[in-house]
Structure 1
Amino acid sequence: MKDIGFVSSGDGAQLQCYRDFSEYLDEEIYLRTIDRVDLGAFKAIVLPDFSNQGLLRIHARQFNDYLANGGFLIVFEPNRMDEWLDVVTVQWFSRETEDWKWWMKPGGRMEAYQPEPRHAMAQAIPLADMCWHFFGAFRLPDTATPILNLDNDEGCLMYDQQVGGGGRLIASTIDPHTHHGRRFMPATTRFLEGFYPWLKAEVQQRG
């Protein structure tokens, strides 16, 4: 079994990310022809931000079955997973970053924090590397561990290890791949530099 599959819609930023982090990724999977791929052959599947929405809905059953059968699905926003993922209910809310240019101001801060700073993912990715902006927020399922929350305690990044059927889900409302792939917003590069080594280790440790 392979460790991590990376789903690409063919977007240039996604392709760049796959090249940049290929040492942690086992295979690039083209979303348009994903019905020819056995997702069960991968311990984890990454859906990067700004994937093709129409194709996600067309192939929704394949992702749902993968998660329901014990797969480890990682979904970055804005992919509106609440519209096509039905194995687990993750309520999404429309939220706007209060100040999109906060990072350009001395002492600026995005309205988010790490509620579990000792979690291994938070240890691998400091708060400063999780903050640029966000696309909405989640209401956290009872089984989920919050990794990045808005100040009002709605979720930006969560890890649910108790999805029915033994599956695991990481869901986020942030978009690191788009920015890193287009070489804009250094925090997103630092995020991925922390995330993919952590994910690889998590997959190999947990199986």
Structure 2
Amino acid sequence: MSTPATTIAFLHGGSHAQLATLADPALAPYRIHGIHVRTGAIAELADAEVIVVSDRLRTDLLRPWAGPIGAALDRGATVLVFGENAVGTWLPGVREESRPTVFWWWRTGEDHRLRLRAPEHPAWEFFAPRAVVWHYHGVLEPPAGAVSLVDLHTENGDRDGSILYLDESSTAGRLLVTTMDPVYHHGSGFMPGATQLLYSTLYWATAGRRKPC
């Protein structure tokens, strides 16, 4: 038997959804260490093996953490960056453009225009389609070498950009970036797939770092 013994830092802004996520009993075994972006100390990231950048943080408060997050990647940490965090303004090598959010396509019958990519990538052992197809807040153009797992297409069928990508080549670490906002929806208690994405990303991030009991 094994248990997650990874040091996980969770950057948050104290919103109701973020605090509810931190209090989720299902996540207790991960022993997540919450760090407030306003009052937390940069040194708290020093030993983190996994850093979660919660969605919907104030960009002016998040930007000072960009350098330490980059340093963590350079030393081999895994970083998860969730949506609506203006990553194009502080995350090197990525461009972001906003897109209208399609909230209830499964009720209206509207095509969500999301397409799964890189089917042979080992990350798909951790992510079910339900976890990565619900809604989004923009498209990303990741740096060279990154792998998009989910793309958004235009109504004409052309690729518009990525909404979930993995970068395992730019640094010694692993970087997962998405424009989906699972912490907000999990903590708020609505949106099919959000909880599954949150749980799946944490499981993926810690899978290779688990230590025997």
Instruction: Tell me the TM-score normalised to structure 1 length.
Output: 0.85
Deviates more, 1:21-30 or 1:70-79: 21-30
Deviations 1:157-197 (A, max 9, x none): 11101123x13211111111101100011211122232322
Unaligned runs of 5+ residues in structure 1 are none
Specify the alignment match of 1:132 in structure 2. 134
Deviates more, 1:148-157 or 1:190-199: 190-199
Q: 1:70 aligns with which of 63, 70, 76?
A: 76
Question: In structure 2, how many angstroms separate the alpha carbons of the residues matched to 1:49 and 1:153?
Answer: 22
Specify the alignment match of 1:178 in structure 2. 184
What does 1:114-153 align with in structure 2 at a 5 Å threshold?
A: 114-151=116-153, 152=159
What value does the CA root-mean-square deviation take over the aligned residues? 2.2
Q: 1:35 aligns with which of 16, 33, 41?
A: 41
**Alpha-carbon offset, residue 153 of structure 1:** 5.4
Specify the alignment match of 1:156 in structure 2. 163
Question: In structure 2, how many angstroms separate the alpha carbons of the residues matched to 1:46 and 1:57?
Answer: 15
Question: In structure 1, how many angstroms separate the alpha carbons of the residues matched to 2:200 and 2:210?
Answer: 16
Specify the alignment match of 1:103 in structure 2. 106
Deviations 1:75-114 (A, max 9, x none): 111101221223xx111122224x43212135x4421121
Distance change (3 Å), C-alpha of 1:109 and 1:199: farther
Amino acid in the other structure paired with 1:104? R
Specify the alignment match of 2:20 in structure 1. 16
Deviations 1:114-160 (A, max 9, x none): 11234333232222221221111111322112111113151111110
Question: In structure 2, how many angstroms separate the alpha carbons of the residues matched to 1:153 and 1:174?
Answer: 16
What does 1:38-49 align with in structure 2 at a 5 Å threshold?
A: 38-49=44-55
2:6–2:210 contact (8 Å) kept in structure 1:
no
**Alpha-carbon offset, residue 15 of structure 1:** 1.3
Amino acid in the other structure paired with 2:38? R
**Alpha-carbon offset, residue 51 of structure 1:** 1.6
1:95–1:135 contact (8 Å) kept in structure 2:
yes
Deviates more, 1:196-205 or 1:38-47: 196-205
Question: In structure 2, how many angstroms separate the alpha carbons of the residues matched to 1:63 and 1:193?
Answer: 21
2:134–2:192 contact (8 Å) kept in structure 1:
no
Deviations 1:23-61 (A, max 9, x none): 224312222233353413011100011122221123333
Amino acid in the other structure paired with 1:4? I
Partner-residue secondary structure (3-state), 1:162: coil
Specify the alignment match of 1:169 in structure 2. 175
Instruction: Tell me the TM-score normalised to structure 2 length.
Output: 0.83
Percent of residue pairs identical: 29
